[in-house]
Amino acid sequence: MNTPPAEAASTRSLRHETEALHMSEPDSPSPEVAELASRENLGRLEHTFLPRKEVDVQEKRSGLFIAAYLAAIACLVTGGILLWVFVDPMLALFCLLAALGMGVLYDGPLFPAKPNGQCLYLFENGLLMDRGAGQLFAVAWDQAVHYQSTVTQTISYLGRHMTTTTYHTSTLVAPGGAKVRISNAFATDFTTWMPLIAEAIGRAQTQKAWDAVREGRKTTYGPFELDATGITTKRRRTLPWPAVAAIDVHAGAVFVRQHGQRKAWAEAEVKNVPNLLVFLTVALNLCSD
């Protein structure tokens, strides 16, 4: 096996990183944040991501949409009550159920919660999240476990499908089990800060994982195990590397494909595969060896 370049994981989304630089200028953290970063040896502060400003155009449009949404719920409730009293309780039930359904959606990803003053700091050697009210979370890149989940909401009308929004959550887990969730409801578009997190973890952990495989050990990424002989899942036996045709990511899932087979040999949701970039870098290098 040839050792992959140390920078292999860091060059996959260079364009995203370049675009993010002017959006995430380092900002002076609070004394508490600076003290914790120093204690954890996180090094130089490289990027700061603040909560979304309520005055930006997207938030203004969101406010109008929420007002219209709440008005629609109020009309359904009022109409339901009038139908119940003066017409037919069965007709009223449909209006009240529709209002209830819209109320449930209001508490979902379509209307994410306000960030409450949170702030995300990306350092040279790790991540620090100020969750407000004195709650701080810190983890080094070489110890972080990163899970990604991206959900795209669509509206179907007259046979046409329109994308309304894409909601992303990154979950970072520290060695002791402490975790923090970061969503695109919190800061700027997740395509700026999420690649920075994934690439930093890739730079810190890929070489170590590769060395473990070379030494005959297994590395585990959720439902997948990698070693020098092949890729293994809990439901399937080991697929030797010469039999692996491709490993790709599509529609929120990771697919392992076998030569000569149309159906994927194995698949798993992206949100269940920790440190996805590390997994893909090591696996794809083993495939091509």
Nearest partner of 255 among 279, 237, 275, judged by Cα: 279
Dist CA 91 CA 74 (whole Å): 17
Classified as helix, coil or strand, 103 is helix
User: Rounded to an integer, what distance in angstroms lies between the CA atom of residue 175 and that of residue 126?
Assistant: 13
* Residue-wise pLDDT tens digits, 232-278: 998 889 999 999 999 999 989 999 999 999 999 999 999 999 999 99
Q: Which string of DSSP letters, residue by residue, matches 33-46?
A: HHHHHHHTT--SEE
DSSP state of 272: G
- Cβ contacts of 153 within 8 Å, gap of 6 or more: 109, 110, 163, 164, 165, 166, 167
Question: What is d(CA 277, CA 153) in angstroms, rounded to the nearest whole number?
Answer: 25
Cα–Cα dist 62/273, whole Å: 33
Exposure string for 132-168, b = 16+ CB within 10 A, e = fewer: eeeebbbbbbeebbbbbbeeeeeeeeeeeeeeeeebb
In terms of Cα–Cα distance, which of 152, 78, 163 is closest to 109?
152
Amino acid at 157: Y
- Give the chain's end-to-end CA distance (angstroms, integer): 6
List helix spans (H) across 107-168.
none
Q: How far apart are the C-alpha atoms of 72 and 99, rounded to whole Å?
A: 8
Residue 134, pLDDT score: 81
State phi, psi for 112 to the nearest 5 degrees.
-65, 155
Pairing type for strands 126-130 and 160-173 reads: unpaired
Residue among 196, 203, 168, 173 nearest 183 (CA): 168
φ and ψ at residue 164, rounded to 5 degrees: -95, -45
Per-residue pLDDT of the chain (289 residues; tens, 9 = 90+): 555 544 444 444 433 443 443 345 566 788 999 999 999 999 999 999 887 653 343 444 455 555 555 565 566 556 556 555 566 565 545 554 555 555 544 444 444 444 456 789 999 999 999 988 889 999 999 999 999 998 876 666 556 766 667 789 999 999 999 999 998 766 667 888 999 999 999 999 999 999 999 999 999 999 999 999 999 998 889 999 999 999 999 989 999 999 999 999 999 999 999 999 999 999 999 988 7
Cβ atoms of residues 76 and 102 within 8 Å: yes
**pLDDT tens readout for residues 186-208:** 666 788 899 999 999 999 999 99
Q: Closest by alpha carbon to 121, among 43, 189, 177?
A: 43
